[in-house]
Structure 1
Amino acid sequence: MTSRLTVAASVAIAIYRELDDDYVGLWVLAWHVRRALPQVSDNDVRDISAAVLEALVGRDAALGTLDEATGLFYPWDADAAVAVAMSAWRDLGRDPNIGEIGWLALTS
């Protein structure tokens, strides 16, 4: 059985690699976690995703808004970004879809 810690680490690595090419929407986190652990609860998916976000934002990624008209990325306050994203995710009552909640981008 794959541990949640192993999944979180592998998802973080996969997302980080994707960030080398483009912005990554939060929906991608849920997709990766559910693919690796199809039997876990929605709360577990959010908990694992929050851990991944904390690791990425703690490194050199930022959470923010992507302006669809201009393609510009607007980072959120790093200290509150993960909490804001996870609160919005819980409020959805489901996994985010493409373009919902926020995006990740490399800051360096």
Structure 2
Amino acid sequence: MTSVLTVAASVAILIHRELDDDYVGLWVLPWHIRRALPDASDDQVRTVATAVLEALVAGDTALGTLDEYTGSFEPWVTGETVGYAMSAWRALGRDPNLGEVAWLARTS
């Protein structure tokens, strides 16, 4: 059985690598997590996603939005970006889809 910590670390590495090429939408996290942990509950998926986001944001990644006209990334300035993103995810009542909730971008 795959451990939750192993999945969180693996997903964080995958996302970090994807950020080398482009912005990454929040919906990518549950996609990866559910494939690694197919029996995980929605709460478990969000718990793993929170750990992944916290690790990425502690490093060189920011959460924010993409301007729909220019395609430029606009980082959130709130002090608790991970909490904000996860609250918006929970409010959806499901996993986010393409373009919903947040985007991740490399800050350096």
Q: Give the TM-score normalised by structure 2.
A: 0.98
1:90 maps to 90
Could you tell me which runs of 5 or more consecutive residues in structure 2 were left unpaired when the two chains were aligned. none
2:75 maps to 75
Distance 1:78 1:57, change over 3 A: farther
2:64 maps to 64
Cα contact 1:63–1:78 (8 A) shared by 2: no
Q: What is the aligned-residue RMSD (CA, Å)? A: 0.8
2:36 maps to 36
Query: Within 2, Cα distance between the matches of 1:24 and 1:68?
Result: 15
Could you tell me which runs of 5 or more consecutive residues in structure 1 were left unpaired when the two chains were aligned. none
Cα contact 1:26–1:102 (8 A) shared by 2: yes
1:11 maps to 11
Query: Within 2, Cα distance between the matches of 1:75 and 1:88?
Result: 16
Task: Compute the displacement of 1:78 (Å).
Answer: 5.9
Question: What is the letter of the counterpart of residue 94 of structure 1?
Answer: R
Question: What is the letter of the counterpart of residue 41 of structure 1?
Answer: S
Query: Within 2, Cα distance between the matches of 1:11 and 1:78?
Result: 24
Question: What is the letter of the counterpart of residue 11 of structure 1?
Answer: V
Question: What is the letter of the counterpart of residue 67 of structure 2?
Answer: D
Question: What is the letter of the counterpart of residue 13 of structure 2?
Answer: I
Q: Secondary structure at the match of 1:104?
A: strand
Aligned identity (percent) is 71
Q: Secondary structure at the match of 2:79?
A: coil
Task: Compute the displacement of 1:69 (Å).
Answer: 1.0
